[in-house]
Amino acid sequence: MGRCPGCGAWGGLSAVSTARPGLAEVPAPVRLADLGADAPDRILTGIGELDRVLGGGLVAGSVVLIGGEPGIGKSTLVLEALAALSRRGQVLLVTGEESPAQVGSRAERLGADCGAVEVLAETRVDAVAAAIRGHRPLVCAVDSVQTLIADGVDGGPGSVGSVRQATAELVRAAKETGVVIILVGQVTKDGSLAGPRLLEHLVDCVLTLDGDELRDHRVLRAAKNRFGSTNETGVFRMGARGLEEVRDPTALFVESGPRRVGSCIFPAIEGSRAILVEVQALVTSTQIVPPRRVAVGIDRTRLAQIIAVLARHAGIGLGDQDVFVSVAAGARALDPAADLAIALAIVSAHRGRPMSAASAAFGELGLTGAVRPAGHAVRRLTAAAAGGVSAAVTPAVSGAEGEVPRPDSVFRVAEVREALQAAFD
């Protein structure tokens, strides 16, 4: 062919081996045994709650996405992390959402010293990538990824194509330079916005910051982490001087004082920590068929299953009742061991009386009505005792429990009926 059909140049084509047309060289794979098994280098931010959720600090060349609703504290958390990291090296904050002056006034409020943080007001992703390649900071944060503009993409800033392309471009820059990139992503209430959801597969780590407007605590979790577990939880409190770490959140999510009607404490395991969470239930009679089953912070299918087990194995029929179950904002109880606490909260709400003898419970409910053992029984009991729980309902067999602090009374039950007796009689 005299003229290249691709670029239009004359005489530019040359022959390659006819044995493997199109493949100049056979790529050589590497044996896993020959790869160094070294743990990646970590950069500690110095904010313990953040470092733990990251799996022990930031990994060089990684890209971390922090998502959350507007106003939850993403910019604050990122600025605090940069302030701490600025003692270790150059840190760059690319701001597209706020002016440098607005960033400056946030910095003034914080307890941390932000003086060495370098701010760049920029929204063109090419320019951001050039700054990363040119300055090679230790860490570069971009607030937010939705404000970035990528060339040659339809739809403008914030559009699906633009956010994706901008992220891909920054991921390339991070891998090339070893610079850690932290991306802030806005999520709307329904979690559907062109943003974090679309980017999960592009980045190494996705963190979410949760909480509610009424209470000031914030919970940080990893939804994805290529370099660590996704079980850890970081807990903060939003105060007058930014986000403060809550190093011992054991009893943070539980109202003190006697249990109210429809309330049961569940000692949840969050990674390396046990945290007490309060399961709340409301049961009201209804004309609606089928009645409503509303679950917040717990799994809906499990809720339906627990209601069915109560009906069949404890004679508690809720067929003409709406059932609402929730765990205190920001906390979750997705572990099957939460079943018993959920069941007791529902029964308490249904009977209109608080749990009497015990205030906390854990254990998985089988479809047969059996209360099954749960993992980490000792840690759960220890946390319950630390949180002031004096009596708990637990599975009959729950592993070895040496001399550990635990509630004064532990009611061991094998059946859901027994659990109700232990809790209410």
Q: Which residues bind Mg ion (CB under 5 A)?
A: 75
387 binds, among Mg ion, ligand TYD, none (CB under 5 to 8 A by kind): none
Does 195 bind ligand TYD (CB under 6 A)? Our answer is: no
Does 217 bind ligand TYD (CB under 6 A)? Our answer is: no
Does 95 bind ligand TYD (CB under 6 A)? Our answer is: no
Stretch that binds ligand TYD, among 63-71, 118-126, 152-160, 274-282 (CB under 6 A): 63-71
Q: Could you say which of 55, 185, 242, 267 contacts ligand TYD (CB under 6 A)?
A: 242
Which residue carries 């009596």 as its tokens?
391
**N-terminal to C-terminal alpha carbon distance within the chain:** 92
Indicate the residue among 70 and 258 with the shorter CB distance to ligand TYD.
Answer: 70
Vertex 326: Cα angle to 74 and 350 (nearest 5): 165
Rounded CA separation 298/320 (Å): 22
Does 76 bind ligand TYD (CB under 6 A)? Our answer is: yes
Does 71 bind ligand TYD (CB under 6 A)? Our answer is: yes
Does 218 bind ligand TYD (CB under 6 A)? Our answer is: no
Stretch that binds ligand TYD, among 23-31, 57-65, 229-237, 238-246 (CB under 6 A): 238-246
Q: Could you say which of 109, 133, 260, 353 contacts ligand TYD (CB under 6 A)?
A: 109
Residue 416 identity (one-letter amino acid): V
Which residues 6+ apart lie within 8 Å of 397 measured at CB? 373, 412
76 binds, among Mg ion, ligand TYD, none (CB under 5 to 8 A by kind): ligand TYD
Q: Could you say which of 42, 60, 90, 106 contacts ligand TYD (CB under 6 A)?
A: 106
Does 146 bind ligand TYD (CB under 6 A)? Our answer is: no
Task: Quote the least distance from Cβ 362 to ligand TYD, whole Å.
Answer: 33
Q: Could you say which of 68, 137, 262, 330 contacts ligand TYD (CB under 6 A)?
A: 68
Stretch that binds ligand TYD, among 68-76, 175-183, 349-357, 385-393 (CB under 6 A): 68-76
Does 73 bind ligand TYD (CB under 6 A)? Our answer is: yes
User: What is the per-residue burial (b if ≥16 Cβ within 10 Å, else e) of 274-310?
Assistant: bbbbbbbbbbeeeeeeebebebebbbeebbebbbebb
Does 331 bind ligand TYD (CB under 6 A)? Our answer is: no
Rounded CA separation 274/281 (Å): 22
Does 211 bind ligand TYD (CB under 6 A)? Our answer is: no
Contacts 24+ apart (CB under 8 A), 350-356: 350/283, 350/316, 350/318, 350/321, 351/424, 352/261, 353/261, 353/424, 354/258, 354/259, 354/260, 354/261, 354/263, 355/259, 355/263, 355/264, 355/423, 355/424, 356/423, 356/424, 356/425
Q: Judge contact between 224 and 206, C-beta under 8 A.
A: yes
Indicate the residue among 213 and 425 with the shorter CB distance to ligand TYD.
Answer: 213
Which residue carries 């089953």 as its tokens?
293
Report the candidate in 303, 255, 302 with the shortest Cα–Cα distance to residue 277: 255
Does 58 bind ligand TYD (CB under 6 A)? Our answer is: no
146 binds, among ligand TYD, Mg ion, none (CB under 5 to 8 A by kind): none
Residues 62, 45, 122, 161, Cα dihedral to 10°: 40
Residues that bind ligand TYD (CB under 6 A): 68, 70-76, 106, 109-110, 238, 240-242
